[in-house]
Amino acid sequence: MNDATLLDKTVFITGASGGIGSEIARRCAARGANLALFARRLDKLQTLKEELEKDHPGKIKVYQLDVSETDQIKEVFTKALDDFNGIDVLVNNAGYGVFRYAHDATIEDIKGMFSVNVVGLIYCTRMVLPVMRKQKHGHIINIASQAGKIATPKSSIYSASKHAVIGYSNALRMELADLNVYVTAVNPGPIETNFFDIADKEGTYVMNVKKYMLKPEFVAEKVVNAMLKPKREINLPWWMNTGSYLYVLFPRLFEKVGKKAFNKK
């Protein structure tokens, strides 16, 4: 590729074993980056590593990690930072959702989503911040969601967790503004991945929105194109993000008009 922005740069990616995580890894490798890949499924990471090493010369290492376990994050990230002697980009991609009405949400759902989507993301970031602050460069990319901007029925807990990610990203961006460390929040709509195997076990939501679903390759390309550039947010698709602006301006009208669509989960 002509873009040499990532050549010899070190990129850490959580949730790298599938979906947009693995697609981001493929595109980073193609641009000459060194990769630290994290996920719970070590076998999938090993398969991805072998695939990437066939065509790309960059250093690639894989690490088994459950981001809901903060002790694991500390141990594994410390090792990875030592293995690569630093970091240039962190992609906080690990996350999941369960679509249920608020009164049906179990405490396991609530704790699980916040442990992974919020606390895990924050702690992964906490592990790399001292390095980025010291070297005065870097990029933190947090995969949030359009659900963090427009909450809908059956996504109360998931939306709340993604609201938190956007809020954290906004505050962190201001903290790091004078240190040449960028913070980007990525807010995609529904993506055609195995995310919905857990989130929508009945398949109702997928059936209703399938024609609008984003391809993981498309989202990954947008993310990688923005690496090491001062991009505040990536919002996909554009028309859905337009809805988020209308929601801020006319919340009651938006909820009334969109009620039928919002209840399709």
Question: Residue 202: its pLDDT value, please?
Answer: 60
40 vs 46: CA distance, rounded Å: 12
**Cβ atoms of residues 72 and 116 within 8 Å:** no
Burial of 158 (0-12, 13-18, 19+ CB in 10 A): buried
Q: Cis omega before residue 237 (within 30°)?
A: yes
114 vs 161: CA distance, rounded Å: 6
Question: Residue 212: its pLDDT value, please?
Answer: 66
**Which of 188, 56, 31 shows the shortest CA–CA distance to 11?**
31
Question: Residue 48: its pLDDT value, please?
Answer: 98
Q: How many residues does the chain have?
A: 265
**Cβ atoms of residues 240 and 181 within 8 Å:** no
Catalytic residue among 123, 158, 168, 182: 158
The CA-CA-CA angle for residues 47, 53, 55, to 5°, reads 120
**Which of 143, 26, 127 shows the shortest CA–CA distance to 81?**
127
Question: Residue 1: its pLDDT value, please?
Answer: 43
143 vs 91: CA distance, rounded Å: 7
To the nearest 10°, the Cα dihedral for 91, 216, 190, 227? 30
Spell out a b/e string for 126-152, using b for 16 or more CB atoms within 10 Å of the CB, else e.
Answer: ebbbebbeeeeebbbbbbbbbbbbbbb
| Identity of the residue numbered 264 | K
Taken in order of first residue, the domains within the chain and their CATH numbers are: 10-262 (3.40.50.720)
Query: Is 158 a catalytic site residue?
Result: yes
- Residue identified by tokens 């059956």 is 154
**Which of 107, 124, 113 shows the shortest CA–CA distance to 71?**
124
Question: Residue 261: its pLDDT value, please?
Answer: 67
**Cβ atoms of residues 16 and 39 within 8 Å:** yes
Structure tokens of 16? Answer: 């790298």
Positions of the chain with pLDDT under 70: 1-4, 193-212, 259-265
Question: Residue 242: its pLDDT value, please?
Answer: 83
Question: Residue 211: its pLDDT value, please?
Answer: 64
Question: Residue 62: its pLDDT value, please?
Answer: 98
Question: Residue 249: its pLDDT value, please?
Answer: 80
